[in-house]
Structure 1
Amino acid sequence: MKQIQPNKLFVASCLALLVTSLSFGIRAGILGQLGVQFHLSGQELAIITGTAFWGFPLAVVIGGFIVDAIGMKRLLVAAFLLHLIGILLTICTPWFASGFWPLFISTLFIGMANGTVEAACNPLVATIFPDNKTTKLNHFHLWFPGGIVIGSLIVFFLNQVNIGWQIQVATMLIPTLIYGFLFLKLDFPVTERVAAGVSNSQMYRSIASPLFIFIFICMFGTAITELFTNQWIEILLKNVTEYGLLVLALTAGVQVLGRAVAGPVVHKMSPTGVLLASAIFSALGLYMMGSMSGTMLFVAAVIFGIGITYFWPTMLGFVSENIPESGALGMNLVGGAGMFAVSVYTFFMGGFYDSIIAKNLPAGASLDTYRSATPGTAEATAFQQAQAVAGPEIINVTLVIPVILIVAFAGLFFYMRGKKKQTLHTQTA
């Protein structure tokens, strides 16, 4: 007979998510170094980082369709193997003639591992804590910004003592091996949908409902606002402040604290109220990041961090609580939609970033010549000045997204409040 141990499963899930977030934090910190060492353009860096974001939805959507059939344990063993291969291949990149393809493939493997973790762990947390889904999903997802804080600080401090990016990437092997060992030992429950006996036809009908489609589309915006900004912040603010990584760490630190106290916040404000407030704070934080400098960037980071804290877990919790028949597939489709949107947005913003830099260089200048210029030369200085203009401009373009979300979530808030009143009126009639 299976002996399900919810707390141990939760700890192992958090470690798996920690590896996912370390991959984001460390990659964000070393992206500039990889660009210099392997002579990669902004477009190529965008393609590599975007790979993690479309590898994620590829895995999370496939996982969503098969998790009920093969079980959550098999998916998590697959995640462990994908993480292990992706990390080792990244470390071995300098051994190859070209840096682009090994980084592309290794990032794809890590992205697929990250998606597989989400495909299994989100329904796992919802299954083992059925009466407290949104709060426990927030507690689980605090390890995403938590890992970004840890990853950013690892890069920052190891850079200070001249320890290379390969050792920085290798630190991810420790939690990877631990979570792989734990999941191999533990027994798993069946998913909540399987336990409840909800049919496949009911599940597919639920994901075709207008409410699900609305949340699915909104996830594009919440994911881009949070993940694109965090992943590119060191590059976007590179020549605005020397502390871009610390801005990222501060933002993620605010997310950790916010998700740790998610229970009272969600219960007091309701999930839709939380989403509306999140959109408002995100827009304000991005506006400040794109228009301010110096110490005010740290104030902007705190406000932006408050804004993005509850986006991802509350969106998943909303689906699980309000569209429960969608099961693991519903949660995973929403998560996959968010990551896919980030991959597409990152691809286009990489090219746009290069075009802004080129526009701010002397007429007729070659972008590649200025990018590879020797530090201290006039060309290098001109390139840095162009970057200092391009970064905030990208942030200001991204600001449009949370502004749209404010309108969308205000509508959702009043719709759900009206629906709740109607339900109460029906029950008391």
Structure 2
Amino acid sequence: MTNTDINRKRLYYVGNLSIFMIGLGFAVRANIAPNLQADIYDKIDLANSASMVGEALGITFTGFALTLLFGSALVDFIGMKRMLLLSALGYVAGALGLLAAAAMPIGPSVETVVLVSLLLTGLGWGAVEAASNPMVAALYPEEKTHRLNILHAWWPAGIVVGGLLGVSISAMGLPWEINMFVLLVPAVVLAWMVASSAFPETERVAAGVSYGEMFTELLKRPLFWVFWACMFLTAAAELAPGQWVNIALSNIVGMQGILLLVYVSALMFVMRHFAGPIVERISSVGLMFVSCLAAGIGLYLLSLADTPLLAFAAATVWGIGVCYMWPTMLAIVAERFPRGGAMAMGLMGFAGGMSIQFVLPRMGGIFDAAKAQAAGGADKLASLSPEAMSEVVRYASVESFQSVAYVPLMLLPVFGIIWLFDRKRGGHQPEVIGEPGTPQ
């Protein structure tokens, strides 16, 4: 494959569409979470239904994480094209599976179908990240942070479109299952665009860095594993509240929580286009420090908001905080450890996905425990009046949001120390893949 065979602009559109698709899927899951809880899990186990829906949503992140763990190691073998085709297939199969689950009688079988369907969308999500991130790093090696942030701006764009469509479907009284068809359209378009495009080699392969050198690079650089551990917490601060927002904030504020997610996502879409100039002033790590501070404050304020106006104000602070987290963490690794290749970026995504797998059920567990406590015992939930149940659920929603507010604040010392160390050395300069980095 020669450089003249590669249409960089077209491939960037492919990457944008793939990220848009997974953002759309994120919004659809947030849209249907209350429906899954009410139509399926409440009928199976009312006292533990929030934990069950949290586990169901969480399995999406398990599929995402597993695909990144293994797919990032395989993308050099099977190619970016096949990986992106697999992602489209995962979304098509997952959407059709959820449609089938909606038509099934309530019981263990429908639980299994829901879990498998959400797992398939998670596998498709991971395949997108495994291919699109190294693709953009290879297409734009000179401006990774800026380009990766713009690429991931299409994630919140997908959330905006999916969220607004979900609200419209609900407002018109249409069946929630129509959300599944929203996923099918971009998946089919993506499959067509991928099938008709030529793809480059990854940056590591193009530079002639072997698999052995890639693994050695990751093992000998302790700082990579520091950032890897940080990814667990930054992802928890961004993605877990976003997936939980429609359940929790709808009860806290008395409005559809998905509207807040749409608002925050629109904010993120705009702001991510300006990541380059910000990083030039304060560096990627400096941006993460500021982001974690704002995210922690915003999450706590969200749990306290009791009116739509206060909720939007708190969501603005949270949105500013989490806006740059995911793409900037990927860019930090791509700039500091380029010889780690797609595996380094995949391991970061794996950390983020597994984080949510643990955090979402934990939020659901806190929700259920607080719900039972406020009701005076889990056995009394079924006998509560609608007004009493509303107050119980509102209390539980506040508790579940406050439980994650401290997570990004734990990272302030880590990013602060690295930021100060970089500034002491005159600022960090991205490493060139042809020149082995200095072990840190």
TM-score strictly above 0.5: yes
Residues 48 and 421 (structure 1), Cα distance of their counterparts in 2 relative to 1, 3 Å cut: closer
Shift of 1:243: 3.3
- Distance in 1 separating the partners of 2:361 and 2:303: 20
Shift of 1:42: 0.8
Shift of 1:201: 2.4
165, 187, 198: which is aligned to 1:176? 187
Partner of 2:172: 161
Residues 120 and 45 (structure 1), Cα distance of their counterparts in 2 relative to 1, 3 Å cut: same
1:226 aligns with 2:232: no
TM-score if structure 2 supplies the norm length?
A: 0.91
1:290 aligns with 2:303: yes
Partner of 2:393: 387
- Distance in 2 separating the partners of 1:20 and 1:421: 34
- Distance in 1 separating the partners of 2:378 and 2:278: 54
Question: 1:13·1:179 contact (CA, 8 Å) conserved in 2?
Answer: no
Question: 2:99·2:180 contact (CA, 8 Å) conserved in 1?
Answer: yes
1:301 aligns with 2:309: no
Shift of 1:95: 2.5
- Distance in 2 separating the partners of 1:345 and 1:200: 33
Amino acid at match of 1:328: A
Unpaired stretches in structure 1, ≥5 consecutive residues: 371-377, 424-429
Question: 1:206·1:212 contact (CA, 8 Å) conserved in 2?
Answer: no
1:75 aligns with 2:87: no
Is the deviation greater in 177-186 or in 386-395?
386-395
User: Matched residue pairs, number?
Assistant: 415
- Distance in 1 separating the partners of 2:229 and 2:202: 25
Shift of 1:115: 0.2
Partner of 2:104: 96
- Distance in 2 separating the partners of 1:421 and 1:34: 49
> Which secondary structure state, in structure 2, belongs to the residue aligned with residue 71 of structure 1?
helix
Question: 1:156·1:245 contact (CA, 8 Å) conserved in 2?
Answer: yes
1:402 aligns with 2:402: no
Partner of 1:373: none
- Distance in 2 separating the partners of 1:157 and 1:408: 43
Amino acid at match of 1:235: I
Partner of 1:374: none
Alignment of 1:139-158 (within 5 A): 139-158=150-169
Alignment of 1:20-419 (within 5 A): 20-40=22-42, 41-97=49-105, 98=107, 99-208=110-219, 209-241=221-253, 242-294=255-307, 295-363=309-377, 365-367=379-381, 369=382, 378-419=384-425
- Distance in 2 separating the partners of 1:115 and 1:419: 36
Is the deviation greater in 192-201 or in 310-319?
192-201
- Distance in 1 separating the partners of 2:332 and 2:136: 14
- Distance in 1 separating the partners of 2:428 and 2:177: 58
1:338-381 CA distances to partner (integer Å, 9 max, x unpaired)? 111111111222122111100000346344x25xxxxxxx5322
Amino acid at match of 1:340: M
Amino acid at match of 1:53: F
Shift of 1:48: 0.6
- Distance in 1 separating the partners of 2:399 and 2:162: 26
Question: 2:364·2:400 contact (CA, 8 Å) conserved in 1?
Answer: no
- Distance in 1 separating the partners of 2:87 and 2:426: 39
- Distance in 2 separating the partners of 1:260 and 1:172: 25
1:16 aligns with 2:22: no
- Distance in 2 separating the partners of 1:257 and 1:328: 27
Shift of 1:51: 0.5
- Distance in 2 separating the partners of 1:15 and 1:248: 20
- Distance in 1 separating the partners of 2:259 and 2:192: 33
Amino acid at match of 2:53: L
> Which secondary structure state, in structure 2, belongs to the residue aligned with residue 92 of structure 1?
helix
Question: 2:372·2:378 contact (CA, 8 Å) conserved in 1?
Answer: no
Question: 1:91·1:170 contact (CA, 8 Å) conserved in 2?
Answer: no
Question: 1:75·1:117 contact (CA, 8 Å) conserved in 2?
Answer: yes
Shift of 1:77: 1.3
1:388-426 CA distances to partner (integer Å, 9 max, x unpaired)? 111111211101101101222111211222344699xxx
Amino acid at match of 2:12: F
Question: 2:363·2:401 contact (CA, 8 Å) conserved in 1?
Answer: no
Is the deviation greater in 21-30 or in 237-246?
237-246
TM-score if structure 1 supplies the norm length?
A: 0.93
Amino acid at match of 1:74: R
- Distance in 2 separating the partners of 1:422 and 1:336: 26
Partner of 2:437: none
> Which secondary structure state, in structure 2, belongs to the residue aligned with residue 360 of structure 1?
helix
Unpaired stretches in structure 2, ≥5 consecutive residues: 43-48, 430-440
Residues 217 and 365 (structure 1), Cα distance of their counterparts in 2 relative to 1, 3 Å cut: same
Question: 2:246·2:257 contact (CA, 8 Å) conserved in 1?
Answer: yes
Question: 1:96·1:102 contact (CA, 8 Å) conserved in 2?
Answer: no
Amino acid at match of 2:313: V
